[in-house]
């Protein structure tokens, strides 16, 4: 069976539903510190779990005979800056628990998400290569960079089959993200449909790598299904789909919502965004395990407007 830790988060929710569709509802155990979307809670097993509680993780793995773990619990970039020690403890302890359980041979495969936040101001900003300078300046980025090194170490020393992707900003409408720097690109759709205006907390020219949720889920499923010998990078893979600024996204939305207005009031998150790459070179993932994205900015915009539009209607 498969265990998702952090199943109620933005990516966890859609990943759990997808894995249940592929493997069967009772084969995929969702767990999180809090309850989540109705669809997720009702479609299969759920366990309340704190991702730092090692004995409890072990018990769930034993009780359900879990062989594969997706560790999706983490504190994101903006929140982590406000609670550095808490972020470090959550992001690192949860990873060590899973890596150690895998090292003991109790589970066979691990997915752990990294992020483009592993890069920093000294990294080449455009088409950032797979292997390059990595000097992250955020709490979140430091934790992801450290996590990558440990994943690679556990693979090299103990043969742990851990696989990882450096996600860009992930855009979706089913579950809201919590505390990320790329969250503006989701908020903007909600505000555009509700109020025809949005004040961005990033500057108009803050270009960041982004991806639509379906592509992120496809990448996650693909990397986990690939034969082990194809996964040559055991720290984490660069992954890209598109790159845009708040200004570019706003003009795309204007094509659908006449009179949509954007203004800019950058806060501390602007500094985080400035430390990250603008675009990513993901050739290695494409070559090693056949990664290919489907959503471009045009398709992302129409899908988001439709999805957020529907969810706003059902709220009324």
User: What is the distance between the alpha carbons of residues 155 and 224, in angstroms, rounded to a whole number?
Assistant: 15
Q: How far apart, in Å, are the Cα atoms of 7 and each of 12, 218, 282? A: 4, 16, 27
Interface with ligand VAH includes 169 (CB under 6 A)?
A: yes
281 close to 238: Cβ distance less than 8 angstroms: yes
| Binding track, positions 185-214, relative to ligand VAH; x by CB under 6 A | ------------------------------
Q: Catalytic residue at 140?
A: yes
Query: Which H or E run includes 203?
Result: none
- Match 């006449």 to its residue by tokens: 258
| First-to-last C-alpha distance (Å) of the chain | 39
Kindly tell me which of 64 and 119 has the beta carbon lying closer to ligand VAH: 119
DSSP assignment letter at 124? -
Interface with ligand VAH includes 262 (CB under 6 A)?
A: no
Interface with ligand VAH includes 181 (CB under 6 A)?
A: yes
Please pick, from the candidates 120, 168, 246, 277, the single residue that binds ligand VAH as defined by CB under 6 A: 168
Q: How far is the CB of 75 from ligand VAH (least distance, A)?
A: 9
Please pick, from the candidates 16, 77, 220, 279, the single residue that binds ligand VAH as defined by CB under 6 A: 77
> Residue 47 — φ and ψ, nearest 5°?
-125, 135
Q: Which of 248, 173, 159, 265 is nearest to 207 (CA)?
A: 248
Please pick, from the candidates 76, 101, 186, 233, the single residue that binds ligand VAH as defined by CB under 6 A: 76
Interface with ligand VAH includes 115 (CB under 6 A)?
A: yes
Six-digit token pair at 120?
């920093």
Interface with ligand VAH includes 167 (CB under 6 A)?
A: yes
Q: How far is the CB of 139 from ligand VAH (least distance, A)?
A: 10
Part in contact with ligand VAH (CB under 6 A); list of ranges 163-171, 188-196, 217-225, 295-303: 163-171
Q: How far is the CB of 273 from ligand VAH (least distance, A)?
A: 8
> Residue 229 — φ and ψ, nearest 5°?
-70, -15
Kindly tell me which of 185 and 193 has the beta carbon lying closer to ligand VAH: 185
Q: 112: Cβ–Cβ under 8 A, 6 or more apart, which residues?
A: 71, 95, 98, 147, 151, 162, 163, 164
Interface with ligand VAH includes 246 (CB under 6 A)?
A: no
Interface with ligand VAH includes 239 (CB under 6 A)?
A: no
Helices (H), 89-167: 94-103, 139-158
Kindly tell me which of 77 and 275 has the beta carbon lying closer to ligand VAH: 77
User: What is the distance between the alpha carbons of residues 181 and 170, in angstroms, rounded to a whole number?
Assistant: 11
Interface with ligand VAH includes 278 (CB under 6 A)?
A: no
Part in contact with ligand VAH (CB under 6 A); list of ranges 65-73, 90-98, 166-174, 282-290: 166-174
Interface with ligand VAH includes 140 (CB under 6 A)?
A: yes
> Residue 295 — φ and ψ, nearest 5°?
-95, 125
Parallel, antiparallel or unpaired: strands 208-212 and 242-244? antiparallel
Interface with ligand VAH includes 182 (CB under 6 A)?
A: yes
Active site residues: 140
Interacting residues with ligand VAH (CB under 6 A): 76-77, 115-117, 140, 167-169, 180-182
């Amino acid at each position: 069976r498969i265990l998702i830790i952090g199943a109620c988060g933005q990516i966890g929710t859609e990943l759990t539903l997808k894995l249940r569709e592929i493997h069967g509802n009772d084969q995929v155990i969702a767990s999180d510190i809090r309850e989540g979307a109705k669809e997720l809670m009702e479609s299969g097993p759920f366990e309340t779990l704190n991702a730092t509680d090692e004995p409890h993780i072990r018990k769930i793995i034993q009780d359900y005979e879990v062989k594969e773990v997706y560790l999706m619990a983490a504190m994101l970039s903006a929140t982590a800056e406000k609670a550095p020690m808490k972020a470090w403890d959550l992001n690192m302890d949860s990873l060590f628990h899973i890596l150690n359980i895998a090292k003991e041979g109790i589970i066979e495969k691990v997915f752990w998400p990294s992020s483009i936040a592993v890069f920093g101001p000294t990294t080449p900003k455009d088409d950032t290569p797979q292997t390059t300078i990595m000097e992250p300046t955020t709490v979140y980025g430091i934790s992801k960079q450290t996590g990558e090194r440990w994943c690679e170490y556990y693979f090299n020393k103990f043969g742990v089959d851990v696989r990882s992707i450096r996600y860009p900003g992930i855009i979706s409408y089913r579950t809201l993200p919590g505390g990320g720097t790329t969250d503006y690109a989701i908020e903007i759709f909600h505000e555009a449909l509700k109020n025809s205006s949005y004040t961005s907390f990033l500057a108009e020219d803050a270009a960041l790598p982004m991806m639509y949720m379906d592509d992120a889920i496809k990448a996650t499923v693909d990397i986990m299904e690939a034969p082990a010998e194809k996964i040559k990078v055991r720290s984490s893979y660069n992954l890209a789909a598109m790159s845009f600024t708040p200004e570019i996204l706003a003009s795309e939305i204007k094509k659908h919502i006449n009179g949509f207005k954007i203004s800019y009031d950058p806060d501390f998150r602007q500094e985080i965004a400035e430390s990250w790459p603008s675009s990513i070179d993901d050739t290695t993932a494409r070559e090693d395990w056949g990664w290919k994205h489907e959503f471009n900015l045009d398709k992302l915009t129409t899908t988001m407007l439709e999805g957020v539009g529907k969810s706003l209607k059902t709220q009324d």
